[in-house]
Amino acid sequence: MTIFYFVAFLSIFFALMTIFTKNPVHSVLYLVITFFTFTVHYILLNAQFLAVVNFIVYMGAIMVLFLFVLMLLNLNKESEPMKSNLVKFMGVIAGMCLLVTFLGAFRVIEVNNEMVTAHEDIGLVKNLGKVLFSDFLLPFELSSILLLTAMVGAVLLAKKETRVKQHG
Amino acid sequence: MGNLLENMQGIPLNHYLIFCSIIFVIGVIGVLIRRNVIIIMMSIELMLNSVNLLLAAFSAYRGDPSGQVFVFFIMALAAAEVAVGLAIIIMVYRNTKSVDIESLTKLRW
């Protein structure tokens, strides 16, 4: 029980470090740690498949993409554009207002305060695979098309534009 | 693993709601106060992740695996979004030589 609160504190701390650090590379590294704490949360919920996917996709693929782009563009602390302190202050105030709105909404809807019990087997690969390939077969296939489209789009966008000389 | 599961038994759903909304708000603040486009995209990832965790918590609470399948689809979508978004950022950087979001004001008119 106390593990949850400790990991939650770590997640919030590293998420704050992510958005308040000046150096973009440090920011990405803090985001990796935040995602790792999310993986621990998934394990605590007994969602083992999601924990593995979060570990591989987020901490592996997406973070490598971010780091790669940061290093490709050669960004560092000196080239980092920062907003003025007034805008920062107003942004934090606006975020706090949003949080207060959320908390007020949660008070009104009165979630019954039952405990989240980790079910034995719903998060396991076997069970999720059965659901994924029976009830959600069409969305699964559509997501493969989505990934293909994203790949083609990314290559087309990032390719260096060459002026085609029309001969003749 | 069994020890972890026993530790798990005592967390109210309310605390998951509050924790995930705090992470979501941190993402919103990150979008508001930073000017670097890449860090704004990282804040968006933070928001997506908080919603994912809340979906998984609700799924465990209801005993329904559909929520976790939905999280899986959101992860596939996030991977596609990051790939296209970073390609756009590279293209913008090639044209404007900056990752400042204020350099994208050409689209305003």
For residue B25, give the chain A residue with the closest CA: A95
Q: In 3D, which of B74, B13, B68 has the Cα closest to residue B44? A: B74
Q: What is the pTM of this model?
A: 0.87
Residue A135 inside a domain? The answer is yes
Q: Do A15 and A66 share a domain, yes or no?
A: yes
- pLDDT bin (cut points 50, 70, 90) of residue B4 is low
* E-strand stretches of B8-88: 11-12
Chain A residues closer than 8 Å to B28 by CB: 94-95, 98
Q: Which of A72-76, A88-92, A125-129, B35-39 has the lowest mean pLDDT?
A: A72-76
**Structural domain tally of chain A?**
2
Residue A27 in domain: yes
A44–B7 C-beta distance less than 8 A: yes
Q: Chain A: nearest CA to B107, how far in angstroms?
A: 18
User: What is the reported pLDDT for A166?
Assistant: 58
In chain B, the residue whose alpha carbon lies closest to the alpha carbon of A135 is B66
Q: How many domains does the structure of chain B reveal?
A: 1
Residue A98 is nearest to which of B10, B25, B82, comparing CB atoms? B25
Q: C-alpha dihedral over B83, B87, B88, B94, to 10 degrees?
A: 160
pLDDT at A122: 76
Classify residue B91: in a domain, yes or no.
Answer: yes
B56-87 confidence digits (pLDDT tens): 988 888 888 888 899 999 999 998 999 999 89
For residue A45, give its domain range: 2-82
Residues A16 and A68 in one domain: yes
CATH number of the domain that residue B69 is part of: 1.10.287.3510
Type and span of the H or E element at B12? strand B11-12
Biggest CA pair distance of chain B: 60
Overall size of chain B counted in residues: 109
Distance set, CA A27 to CA A114, A150, B10, B42, B50 (Å): 36, 25, 33, 9, 18
Task: Spell out which residues of chain A touch residue B26, defining contact as CB-CB under 8 Å.
Answer: 12, 15-16, 18-19, 95
pLDDT digits (tens, 9 = 90+) for A33-70: 999 999 999 988 888 889 999 999 888 888 888 888 88
Q: Do A139 and A76 sit in the same domain of this protein? A: no
* ipTM surpasses 0.95: no
Position with higher pLDDT, A76 vs A26: A26
Report if residue A103 sits inside a domain: no
By residue range, what is the domain housing residue B52?
Answer: 13-108
Q: Tell me the C-alpha distance between B8 and A3, whole Å.
A: 8
